[in-house]
Amino acid sequence: MSIKQLLFSLLSITLQQTAYSAQLTILGSGTCMPQPHRKAPGNLVSAGNTHVFVDAGPGILQAATKHVDVTTLHGAFYTHFHFDHIGDLPDILTWLHVNQWSHDLGEDIAAPSPFTIYGPVGIENHVKTFLNLAFAGATVTKCVKFVELAPGQTIEVGDFKVTVHKVPHTKESVGCRSTLLPTSSSPSNPGSCGCLLQPQG
């Protein structure tokens, strides 16, 4: 399987543009191997006022600042637990923690929006262990919550309806198919994604 096929099998999101548009921004498509012109895997999916990461390897939060006000992020979907796909979690969680801490101290900083981490079964324990290894004694800030994903599950995230599917890669790997929910911009004809992409070899 090529890296490109693997990326698409794990990302598993295609979006048809409708009157209410959605956008996929590939922030990184590399691997754990350093490369001068490719960041670690990470994607930003946006529609209306909804912005979510799909995987976020090292450096993806910083890369996203060129495309979105990161304080408006709803959360992040993680397809599996390999480091090159989750490696920016310490930075994301530390940023949320500092914002919350500064706000609670009365500084002129808006409280961070609720941030949801979606991932395969075990995501909460995995993230907390990972964070403690990166920053001994650190805890997850109160604005963060966790949602475990299982194949066949359907959830609503802002302007998206997301259906979870099993994809081949690791034991826990999942992919997501998204559908745009009806909005004032598109009251009767939400955009649907294409078929969940599968590797071709």
Q: Which helix (H) or strand (E) holds 157?
A: strand 154-157
Instruction: Give dist(CA 24, CA 17) in Å, integer.
Output: 11
User: Residue 104's CB: how many other CB atoms inside 10 A?
Assistant: 12
User: What was the pLDDT predicted at 143?
Assistant: 78
What pTM was computed for the model?
0.76
What do you get for the CA distance between the two ends of the chain, in Å? 5
The answer to whether 18 and 186 are in contact (CB under 8 A) is: yes
Concerning whether 108 is annotated as a catalytic residue, the answer is no
Dihedral of alpha carbons 104, 129, 29, 80, sign: negative
Pairing status of strand 75-77 against strand 50-56: parallel
Residue 184 structure tokens: 């004032």
Q: What SS3 string covers 53-115?
A: EEEECCCHHHHHCCCCCHHHCCEEECCCCCHHHHCCHHHHHHHHHHHHHHHHCCCCCCCCCCE
Q: Please report, in tens digits, the pLDDT of each residue of the chain (201 residues total).
A: 455 544 454 444 444 444 457 888 999 988 777 777 788 899 999 988 889 999 999 999 999 999 998 888 899 999 999 988 988 888 888 888 777 767 777 777 666 677 899 999 999 988 888 777 777 777 777 778 899 999 999 999 888 889 999 998 889 999 888 888 775 344 434 444 443 333 333
Ordered by where they begin, the domains of the chain are 3-180 (3.60.15.10)
Closest CA to 161 of 144, 145, 148, 176: 176
Tokens of 163: 């259906």
- Which residues, including other chains, have CB under 8 Å from residue 90's CB and lie 6 or more apart? 130, 131, 134, 135
Query: Which among 84, 88, 108, 159 is annotated as catalytic?
Result: 84
